[in-house]
Every structure is written in C-alpha cells, then in structure tokens.
Structure 1
C-alpha cells in the first residue's frame, strides 16, 4: 500500500496544476456523459427491439400465408389427378362415345376401370393386343381428354406452368403455358415404332385446331427426371428442389404423385410445375419499414424468392442456376451479411453492421411439406423502424457531447500549442537518426521561442547532412546508424558483384567539345546511370573521370547481388541508347559506353586514414571486373560478364559465350559472356540467330579445334552480321590456327598483352 501511495503522489508532482484541473473536470464530465447517454441508449434500444420484432413478425406471417396458399393446391391436384387416372377417368376403353367438340370445356371425365386386376380379360383398343404394362398407361387412356384436362388445370391455377404425366414405358404428355397465354403440348409415344415426339401448339385459341409437329428424335425420358424418380421412391407426394425452368428462365419447383395399379405398383407419375416468380412479385410489393427486404432461402443457401427476380438467376457456364445468397450483388452485401450472421450466431433474430450501417434481421422456418427446409428472412436497416426516435437519441447524445467538447476545447488548444511542435521535432529527429533527409517537409512553426530555435537548428542540421550525403553513400550511413557502429578503418571479405563502366574514346571527345558543354553532358550521363544503379540497390564507389565504379552486396546484404548488377547494367545500356539518340538529334557527341561485371569474394570496408575515409572495395575481383570492362574493345562488345556472374544469373538472362580469357597479370583463364537481354522478353530475331550460331561455332567447333567447321560458321556470321566484331576476330584466329595449329595441350585461353 505505501508503494502505491508513493506512485500516485509522483503522478501529480510531475504534472502541472493546469493539467491536474483539466484531467479532473474532464473525468467528471465523462462520467456524467456516459451515464446519461447509456441510459438513453438502453431505453431507445429496448423500444427499437419491441417495435421491430412486431413489424418483422407481421411481415413473416404474411409471407407464410402467401406461400402456403400459393403452393398447397398443387400437391392436392396432383394426387387427385392420379386418383382419377387410377379410377379410369381417362380410359378410352370404357365404351363411352367420344365428345364431338374440341373445346377443353366440352370434355367430360369418363369413368371406368383403368387399373384392373386381370388385364388379360379387359377389352383392348382396336389393333392393340399388348397389355398396358407393356405399352404404358398413356397407351390406353383418352389422350385428348387427358390433354384438355391438363390445359384446364394449368389455366385454372395461375401459379402452374405445366402439367406432366409419364409412365414406366417412357410415354409422356406435357401441356405447358407459353407467352401470350398460349398452350403447347408435348407428347412422347413409345407404343408405336419408331417412337415419336409430337408438339400440339394452340396458337389461335382453343376453338382453332392446333398446329401439329411430329418427329422421331426422342431425347427426353420422364423416368430419369427428379420428379418421377422422387415420387416413385416416396410412393406419395414429392417435392423437387428448386430449379430453373428452361422455357422462361425463372425459378420453379415441381410437385409429383405416383400412379398405382390395382396391385399397388407404380405405373406412372403425375406432376405439376409451379413458377415461383409470383412469390417474388409479392415480396416486391411487401413493405417492411422504408427499405426493408424479405426473401426466402433454402438449405443450399439458394435464394428462392426475392423482390427483384432478376437477381436470383445466375449463369454458370452455359446453364442458368439459382443464385446463392452471396451472389445477389455487391450493392446487397447487407442482405448476404444478414444470413451469414444468422448462421454464425445460430439465432433467429440478429443485429449486425454492414457497410457502416446497422441492420436488424429475423429468420423463420417456413414449415409445411414444401417448405420444411425453407426459411423466410427479413432484413431491415435499423433507421427504418425508429428513424425519429434514433434521431432524437442522437440529438441528445450530440448535445451532451458538445458540452464535453466545449469544456475541453480551450485546454486542448493550450496543450496542443506546446505538444504538437515538440512531437513534430521528435519525428524530424527520428528521420535524421535514420538518415532520411530527402523529404521537403516545411520547418516546424511555433509561437514559443525555445521551440522555434530548436526548429531552426534542425533545418540547418538537415542542410549540412544533405550536403554530406553527396560524398558518402546514404545506405552506408543508415547501416552504421542501424548497427550502432562507429566509422573506423577496416574491412571484411564478402561476396559482391563489381561493376565498371567507361566511355569509349572519351579523350578524343574531350579534345573536340568545349569543357563547359562536355561537363553538362557528362553530368546528364552520370546522373541517369547513377539513378539506375541506386534504384537497383547498388552502391556508387567512385567516379573516375568518365568511368563509374559500383558494387552490390554491401553495406546492405543482397543475396541476389549478381542479378541486381546485371539488371542495372542492362538498364544503363538501354538508357544510353535513348540518350545517344537524343544527343544525336541535338548535334552532340555520342557516349558509347562499355560495361564489365564480375562476382566473387571481395574486401569491402572503410579505407583511407583517420582523418579521411572512403567506403570502397579492393582485391582480385575488383581488378578482374576492371579488366573485363576494358576487354570489350577486343570483341567489339559493350557489356561483358564473367563466368562467376553468369553462374548466378543464368536462369534470368540470355548471354553469348565470347571467349576464355586470362587477363594481364593472371595465368588462370576466365570464361566471359556478352549480356544480351532478359529471358522472356522479346528480342530481335537477328540477335537470337547470331547468339545461336556463335555459340555453336565457339562451343562445338573452335574449342574442339575443328578449325574448318569453325571457319565456316564464323565466316557465315561475318557475312550475315558484318558489324559483329567478335565474329571477325574469330575468323582471323581460325585462319591463324589452320596455318599453325596450337596442338593438343591448347587450353583455348586467350591472353591479351595489354590491359
């Protein structure tokens, strides 16, 4: 306890009196505001919950009643129709005279046994000796009567789209509604040979004879349809899953009932297709709040009914399928979120937030045989129910908060006037600590003299460091800051890639161009190449007249230093092509630049004296990279890399093998390559052809001392590509070696006599 008291005392002792008053008043105000707002929030939330529950429940009951009244007649009519069929209501064997009129209303349902115990004793239709079990139910009934019965049925019930009857032999009849209240009937008859498909199209009313189209191409088998198989399996009323009607491309569902014979065997199935679009149109008219939405969803998360029917049918490949709840569209993310919240919380009433808005939702099982796995979802923005009440609640909250804000505003101004510039100075100090001095942030302004003096000193410091950055690589300084090391003499051996560039004939150019103009052009040249090297995370070692020396892999470690160096060299080479075109148009001298890259162990560190140091590299790898740059002159090339570098980048770049070279002062040879371009990029066909021919001549002929073959290949290259200096060089070598072969001990290494 004493320790705690001491801590509390130190809290107040280390802070000003003004801060103490400020914190005390603000604390009391916050407690008051939280209490008032909390009470108001609770009361209005309670009212919101009660009112919304009543309205959403009313909407749910209306939808339940609508769906029940819409769907329930269909299974009753399906079952009744099968009973009429079983009782012989459509049996043409009953002996009743055929009606003379073609109108459906003139057709009388004829009674008589259709399903009998002893079919062998029954009277058969003329010219038919087969039992109905062989030809099917549809072969022994009055098809015209059944057809007009189906037509009258689907016209009597607007929700019915079509009626279907199929039997165990594959016979099928389907009256269906088409556009304009017209009727088309499809009949598949397997009792004749060959089987036929007949379409009867009533285009001009029921009094006019139908148009009849018959074909022998039967592709449909009712026995394989879900409604047929389901009713046969259930041996009773059966509902299919929701699916897309082929004709009108809208959602529908089918109810079916099996047809039994006297032995209680299933001999056929009668079904009715119900269009669900009317339920969606009903939901469209239903009002829940101002912008609330009611929808019906099944266990597969398919939306069965929705106020906008166009949203619940989606194209999947080449077919249409019912839309899932998460496929309604991005603008209806709140509807999708309602069902997701219901599933996540396992509750029927949820409150959630979507897109920055609050919503209420309820979910109720539809019930009934057809909807036992359907749910009615009601989702409404919270503001729709209690807009005025919520507005009043917000006003009270805003007034209370305004009092609090006004009370702390003055204190905030005073504290901000002191703390803000100090925080800005702290951020500037952190940037300087990380050597981030390139930003052009304005100096910190303050009315307090001491803070303004600190800001002025900070600006002067940044200017000095910015000038210092011109002489020392910023990456080196940041690395020293990061590690906390002091700049001291010494180095360490690491794997690096060293880069040298040099302008061809610069001495001659400097004799022709005035110094001022040359310096301006050289500045542009160095600036462009330096930016490329820095962008590729390279370190500029030094500028040696017109030459640039750079390296990769230090002070910041880079495992892909060779890749970065080659990317930089290729980018510099291509940038120079652009600059030379521009300088040529301006009448200036062209800078033809040669590049050399070598990768290997190198000593890197601070070199010089205690008074002046230079972060640089030295060693055999540096000397070799310098020699490689210069050897471009021998082959007429502009960009050469060594075998060590190529080993690191072979998966990324296309190269041309040039030679095996032992540079002056070295006995061991090094294979060198001309860097052509990146793999995968489009290169001129001529370059690729030259590379392929030269590689074959060098690898398969020259190195194997096949001087005649090599001579033929390099001569062909020289004729086809006369500007290629390497091919010309090898033609001369082959001539010499044919005259004076080098012998078996020849290692293929070229040893230049100059640097």
Structure 2
C-alpha cells in the first residue's frame, strides 16, 4: 500500500526553512547517476529527494500529493542484500570459528603449561634457596666431622620447617664422610652421620629424630665411594657448579618407592678447590598432586617428561596417575616405550619421535598445536621446556581431546545459525518499516527545532546528513542554538519556559501574587572596589554573583536582577510555590554558608572577601512583564519589595546578616530558628512590624544559637510591651552571655532611651528607621 514519506509536523518545519529556496537547487542532489553511492544508498537518497520534492510542492501550494510504495522497494533491495549477506556471514563465521578454535586450544595449552611451569619453578626454587642458605650459613668456615652433630640438627630443623623437602645432605671432599637428614614416606625424620672406618668404608650412625631428640641408634657400613662418587655429588664437585640429578627411585625400607631429584651445590675453598658438596632432595609427589588437581580444571591433562641424552630413555616423572611415574616413554632413536600404559601419551610421542632430535636434551625447542588420533578420538598435543639452562631437562606436555573444547564451538555455531535465520526474518519485517525512517533527518531537525523553541539547547550528537540542504538546516539550527543559549543568560529561564508552555508571546502586564522577596548586598563594597583594579573587581564579583545565583536556583528561586553588587530574587513566580517563604529562608541560610566557605578561600588566596547582608519579606506584589513594548523586564513591584530592601539595609543597625519580616517568619513555618530583633517602621512606612533574625535551620542549629534565641525572646517581649526596666535587665543578661551581640547592644541603647519617655504611648516601642 502506498504510504506518505513524511508526517505533517516535519513537513511544516521543513517548509519554513525551504520557503524561498530555488526549487531546482534542492532537487540538484537527486542526480540518479551519482556513481559513488551503493544501490541501498541510492534508494535512501532518492526517497529523501522525493520527500524534499513533496515538501516543496506543499509549500508552493500544489493540490496534488504524490505517493509511492517505497516500503516495497526497500524490502526488495534489502532482502536481496540480506540473502547474500547471510551466505557470506555463514561462510565467514565457519572460517572464523575454525580459526578461533585453533587459537583457543593453543591459548589453553600455553596458559596451562605456563601454570605448570610456574608450579615446577616454585618447587625447584625451594631446593635452590635451601642450598644458598646453607652455603651462606657456613661462610668461610670449613665443615668437619666435629661439626656433624650441629649440622645434622640444623638439617633436621630445616626439614621440619619445609615439608616439601625430603633429604638434606652434606658430603665432605675427598673423604666422602657425610651428615644427612631424611624425611621418610611416613613423614618420620631420621639423621645419619657417615664417618671414616677401616678399609675405605664409612660407619653410618642412624637415629630417629622426634621432638628435637635423637631416639633409636642404628650402625651400618657403606663404601665411601658410594657416597663420594654419587652422580650428583661427583658432577657438582668436578664442574664446581650446582647441578640437578636425573630423577631416581627412592627406596625407604619397608615403605613405598618414591621418585625424586637432587640439587647439589659445591662449597668452594677460597684458596681453590671444593671443600664439600651440599645436596637437597625433592620427591615428585607434590608435583603429581598438582597435576592431578589440574586434571579436573582444564580440558585434557599434563605430564612431565625427563629428557635424556642420546641413547638413553626419556622417562615420565610427573603424571596425574602417580603409578605411571618412572615409566620409560621413548628413546631418542624414535622408538616409544612398549610397556607404557598411557596410550594417549604413547600416540603423541609416536608423532613427535618422527623427529628424533625434537625431545633430546640438547634441543631447546617447543611444539604447540600438533594433532594426532588415538582410538578414533582426535587430540591436540603441545609441549614446552623449562626456560632456564640451569633447570632440569624437563618437558611439560599437555594432551587435550578436541571434543572437550569443540563442543562449545559447535554450540556457538548452531546458535549463530539460529541467530542468522532470526535476523533474516526480523530484517525482512524491518524493511517494511524502513520507509518511515526515510524522513529521519527531517524528523530529527523537527525535534531539534521544537526543543529549541522550549530553550532546550542540548542536541543529541549525530553525523551530518549527506543532503546539502538538510546539512545547511542542521548548521542553521546550531547557530540559532548558540545565539539563544547566549540570550538565555540575560533572561530567567523559568520565565521564558512559562511563556512557551502557555504558547503566548511576552506582553506587558502583571498579576497579583504572594511572593517572598530577597535582597542581598555586600558590606562596604565601595571601599572594597577602591582597593583593587577594575578588572580584578569584575572577576571577583563574577565569582561572587555566580555563587549566589547557583544557590538561589538550587532552591527554586528566580534571580530577578543584579544591582551592582546587590541581588534581587524572589520565590513563588513564575511557577507557583506554596513553600516560597521556607525555600527563600533556607536559600538565604545556605547562601551565607556557601559565602563563608568562599570568603575563606578567597582570603587565603589574597583575593577580596565579600561579607553579605540579606533581607527577606513576604507579601502580595505585582509580578509580570514591566517596561515597554520594545524592552521589558520580568520583575516584582510593590511595597513588600521595598520592605525587603529596607530589611537588607537594617542589618547595619543591628550587626546582623539575615533579617526576616514577621510575615516571612510566619509563612516559613517551624523549619527555622529565629529570634525577634525589634519592632520597626522602615522609612516611608508608618506601620510597625517585628523583625526577626535567622539564626539557622531548626534541624541543624547549635546550642549557642538556641540559647541566644531563648534569652532574647523574653527581653524583646518586655520591650514590646513597654516594660522598660524588666526589658533592660533581661537584655543585660543577654549581653553578659553574649557580650558582642549587636542586636542586644542596639536594644539596650533603645530601651535606655525609651525609659525617659511616656510609657503609655503605644508607639514608643517602634523603632523608626530614617535611612533606607
């Protein structure tokens, strides 16, 4: 069904902007031969041009309205594009998934092997640290058999302190005499001392060590060469550097066989040669426990293989199944261990050992992402070596069944296919609605213009239109927005918004309304202005007036005008506010608090401080547009306005900062803490009224403010009733408590003067102010 491209509201907005623009100029953007646009872009552009033409015809007053089925056109184009796009996406998703799957498996392998290596390094470092500590402890002292009792005690304490260590040994060179502490498989610690005996043998004394005590003694004999020429001790002594021994089985009498390694460190004589060799032995049980724990955390499992020199077998030294530790896994000539029970590892090594030197101890290579098959299941194998040349020649291998990882990828592909089909259906539906969106740039311009008419200057960011005229409209609206934003600073925003909401133009006139009016003024501003340059004064005054404006607006007030250093504001217009008196008083108190903070900051910076006086009054005034047809001001007029100004000035008489009329005090309710100051008649008025000082907010007032109010009230009441003697006594009591209180001092002077006058005159209690 043919549909109109634009709604009426955007058309009206666009018509205003396009009125007077040459028709041919606007239609110049609709050249169908523009080669740089795609078919979809041409369709969208053509629809926009038709919309512009429709606007122009409506502006020109044409009686015919063209319609067309743009939705069907877009649907056809989009469905064709979507069909090809979905096919490309499916192929691309499959290729990407395959690549991501390979990257994922390699990442898992690398990260897992890195974790295992970190654990291995932590285990090996314990042996390195123990030997380093032992060598540092000996220093330059030569260990002898006479030191053996002390040494074995130290070794036993070290074993007790470090459960991961299994055996600590010190062998003297060249005699082969030794001191040793060993932790058995049952966690029992035994001590051994091998001392020289006849015929080159060593007499070995063996004790159980419990609670730092030597218990049962056993004496055996062992050839000195067995200890002195042990592989690790011999290599450390001849190379004069620390070495790791190959893994070896560890036979504890009556206990299970353990596999372990030894780290041997020579203790050198400063004069040359080797005094002795110290060794730390570790069992591989801790490594196997970690691999078993890791087996449940990652897909696949990790094994640790000890690489051997040419002609010697590689051996499993770490496996989630401890029973496989020690099995031969292959020879460097390419033959795998026939008795190896781990079939997956055997299949992986068969693939690796096609390159005989790949696993050799001389090789430093690693391998990631090698696929192999075992029992119809595809696996991914990866291995890396320990990085440091000083580490044991260990290979960390990870074997990962691809099915454990590929399951998630396959599920993702299925979800992607479902999502693609759903997207295709939704896109087909969206194509039918896309015709409505062809007018989107104009709709956005209409919304911006409407927001601008309400002085809402925040425009949503969007790319500029490709249509030249639409872009010009966007730029014109932007210029208008900047201009009106500047203009708004001269007019209260609430006033203009009220006019816009009512849909009327500003006109002269006013209404009677009850408002609360505030006047503020800087104390001794003339003297302050003379103490600084005019430029500095303008800058400081700008900060001051900005702070006042902010606080007033935060409390629903309207800033009427700035009168030099003074400010006039009111509450209750243009928007009605039933709490105008309370909001005005709270704003005045918060304003003084904020100015106190700023004055401290300005004084610390060497700038001017602006002590401020405030007066507030509540009453019925005329509020509205006052002035002429060409220049007007939204303001309030009437006697209550004058009274508020007089109250501000009255602060000078009493040394106060905020004074309220009794009308304001009554209308504000119980939220304020005030005290009566005096009954006054301001200049130009015969009526006397009670003036109150704002001491704080009831919920926040401190004890001194409450006490001052409590002492002042009875003194004022006595004064207001003409009881001068009593009033004077009460005010003297206030002065005694608050010697510098300006209100009290002024009232004492006033009461003392009134004592000489006739007490029967009811007007005697009114202070008549002669200054504005």
User: TM-score, with normalisation over the residues of structure 2?
Assistant: 0.47
User: TM-score, with normalisation over the residues of structure 1?
Assistant: 0.48
Q: Larger Cα Rg: Structure 1 or Structure 2?
A: 2
